[in-house]
Structure formats: structure tokens, C-alpha cells
Amino acid sequence: MVQVSKEAVLKALSTVDDPDLKRPLTELGMIDKLTICEGNVAFDLKLTTTACPLKEKMREDAMAAVKQVSGVENVTVNISKDTVTLQAKVKERQAVPGIKNIIAVSSGKGGVGKSTVAVNLACSMVKQGANVGILDADIYGPNVPLMMGLGGRTLKETNADGKLIAPENHGVKVMSMAFLVKDDQPVVWRGPMLDKVIRQFLNDTDWGELDYLIIDLPPGTGDAQLTIVQATPVVGAVIVTTPQDVALLDSRKGLAMFTNANIPVIGIVENMSYHVCQHCNERDDIFGHDGGRLAAEKLAVPFLGAVPLISKVREQADKGHPVVLSEPDSEVAKQLSEISHRVVAKVCELGIESHQTPEALPV
């Protein structure tokens, strides 16, 4: 009987790449608890994120590669509950305990559907298996709770440590100013108060263990944005825009803000990209055509995708049922799910880059 060595198994696994990151599983540290008993090989596959839609493909590819090793008779590959820690490290910014990756969703101006994109990204990540939370950082106009089916909820409970317990729906934990004020009560605060409450929401909330915290920023580049980018280890930012020139101009300002703060821009989402008539099925580029894609190319950042203008998106958001959950087979839900997948892949890529020293980079 041929003796199966650990080196031979790892060499075979080095030929299998993560489909998104295009790097070997062995290089990414994804092989764990490798055991060999005569011709029987078993190991755990640690994912870069629990929201990996291609985990079964990776498992099958890894199993097929090991079966090619001389002497191997049986291969068992378990998907580990643990993940490879690849979140980007941002110096001089305080980490939030239990949260692996913080993603800011931003827009240069209001009315472009930023919150709609944020809640659908979060719900799509949950569908892929991730633990997710949303911080609604729009103190003056919070609407995430309504979109998440938590409208009218108030914060009453704290844990044993005195931290706020975030309400949860659709598998997403949510924190928002809307839980602390009545629907018709305006918040009239100056900058220092705004800064204080955002920091409290971040650090005095019992978020538990999250793979991703989505921060839905208010539009523009004001106090709330400065608090987030200066004090929080944001791994990257998603900028939401529409194709029209005025929205694209403002999105460039948002990108400059993140660049100045040394926060990578994950990419640009073009929302309300086009409208398809439900009667004649003709496409109408109401706000222009391909503005987001062209802006992404000009600014040298990824274009994450175009989301059509569909009435069901608004209707389902008003009901507290994000479209990726309520209409999963619709074209708009598929587009948002693909964008979510691209965001997850880019976050993993940024995490790998931040953990590599010049000596460790491939030649």
C-alpha cells in the first residue's frame, strides 16, 4: 500500500483556487485539521467568509484534487464553522469588538436609493450565510427600521453589561435613532451630539459576532461621515449613485472623502439605472445611461452593478420586506444579490492585501 504523505496532499490542494480571489486554498490558510489514516484523508475547509456562495464548488474541487494523490482511497471535506480572519486592519482606528468587517454605504446626495441598496445588501449577505448588522447613521432622517420591518420598535432592553440589544429582523441586527424617538419627532442636534450618539451606537450596542456591519451613512460629506471615517476601522466603502450628472458629481466628492481618509472604495453601484415598462417591455433610461459605469472607469474603482428602477423595490421596502427576500427570482433581486457577492469578494481581497508583507507577495 502506498503511504500518503501530508506534503503530497497539500501539494494537490495548492492547485485549487478560491473562485473569487484566484489564489490557492493553501496560500489563504483555508485548509485545517488535516488527518491521514492509511488511504483515508479528512480535513476542514475554512472559508474567507460564511457568505460564500461557491463553498460547495470549492469543497468538490478540493476533494477531486486530493483523490488524484497516489494511495488515497477516501476523502472527507467538512465546511468549517470557523473562517479565515482576513479583515483589513486600519491603523489608529478603534476596532469594534465582535465585528470582523465594517462596510460604509454612502451617497453624495439624497434620493438615490442608498438605504434601499444597504438593506438589500445586508439581507443578501444573510441569505449567503453571514452574520450581519446595520447601523443607520442617518440621525436626522433614519428609515432603515421601516425598510427592515422594524418600524415603531423602541429600545427597552440592555444586556448584563448594560449594552443596548439591537432589534433583529430577517436575520439582521439593526440600530437606529428611529428606535429612540417618535416618528414625528425631529432631531435637532449640532455636530458634537451627532458624533457622540454614533459612537455610542457603535460601541455601546451588543452586536454579538458579526461578519459584516453595514453602516448606512446619511447623504453628503458632513459630521456623521467624518465620525465614521475617522474613528472606525471601515474596511471599505460602497458608493451609490444614479446615472444623472448631478448625482455623479456628488459621488465623486464622496469618493474623495474616503480616499483622503485612506479608506478603499469597494465600488460604485448605479441605482435607478433604467426602467422597463411593465406593459410594453421597453427600456427607458430616465436618468441617463451608463453614468455610474463611466464614473467608475474614470475614477479607477470597480463598477459593482446597475440596479433597475422597479416599483416593487419601493413597495416592498415600505412594507419592511427587502426585495431580495420578497421577490428573490426578480431581475432586480438577482442584480442586488450579484452586487452583494462582489462586495463580499472585494472585502476578502482587501483583507488579504492588508495581511501580506512585501516578502509574502507572489513574485
DSSP per residue, 209-223: SEEEEEEEPPSSSSH
Instruction: Tell me the C-alpha distance between 119 and 350, whole Å.
Output: 22
Domain count, the chain: 2
Read off the CATH number of the domain in which 186 is found: 3.40.50.300
Query: Is residue 1 in some structural domain?
Result: no
Kindly state whether residues 130 and 73 are assigned to the same domain: no
10-14, 26-30, 81-85: least confident range: 81-85
Query: Is residue 106 in some structural domain?
Result: yes
pLDDT (0 to 100) of residue 175: 93
Domain closes at, from 58, 83, 108? 83
Kindly state whether residues 66 and 104 are assigned to the same domain: no
pLDDT (0 to 100) of residue 186: 57
Kindly state whether residues 209 and 293 are assigned to the same domain: yes
Q: Compute the average pLDDT of residues 30-36.
A: 91
Query: Is residue 348 in some structural domain?
Result: yes
Q: What is the mean pLDDT of the chain?
A: 82
Domain closes at, from 31, 50, 83? 83
Task: Cell numbers for 165, please give them.
Answer: 440589544
Kindly state whether residues 174 and 314 are assigned to the same domain: yes
* Closest to 69 in 3D by CA, of 23, 38, 24, 46: 38
138-152, 184-198, 239-253: least confident range: 184-198
In terms of residue numbers, what domain contains 126?
99-355
Kindly state whether residues 40 and 139 are assigned to the same domain: no
Q: Is the pLDDT of residue 188 over 80?
A: no
Q: Is the pLDDT of residue 48 over 70?
A: yes
pLDDT band of 357, cuts 50, 70, 90: very low
pTM above 0.85, yes or no: no
The CA–CA distances, whole Å, from 116 to 65, 159, 218, 262, 310 equal 42, 30, 13, 26, 12
Instruction: Tell me the C-alpha distance between 247 and 259, whole Å.
Output: 18
Q: Is the pLDDT of residue 311 over 90?
A: no
Could you count the other beta carbons within 10 Å of the beta carbon of residue 187?
Answer: 16
Kindly state whether residues 41 and 131 are assigned to the same domain: no
* Closest to 305 in 3D by CA, of 334, 277, 328, 284: 334
11-20, 203-212, 283-292: least confident range: 283-292
Length of the chain, please?
A: 363
pLDDT (0 to 100) of residue 363: 27
Q: Compute the average pLDDT of residues 45-60.
A: 80
Query: Is residue 262 in some structural domain?
Result: yes
Kindly state whether residues 167 and 231 are assigned to the same domain: yes
Kindly state whether residues 328 and 290 are assigned to the same domain: yes
pLDDT band of 361, cuts 50, 70, 90: very low
Domain closes at, from 35, 51, 83? 83
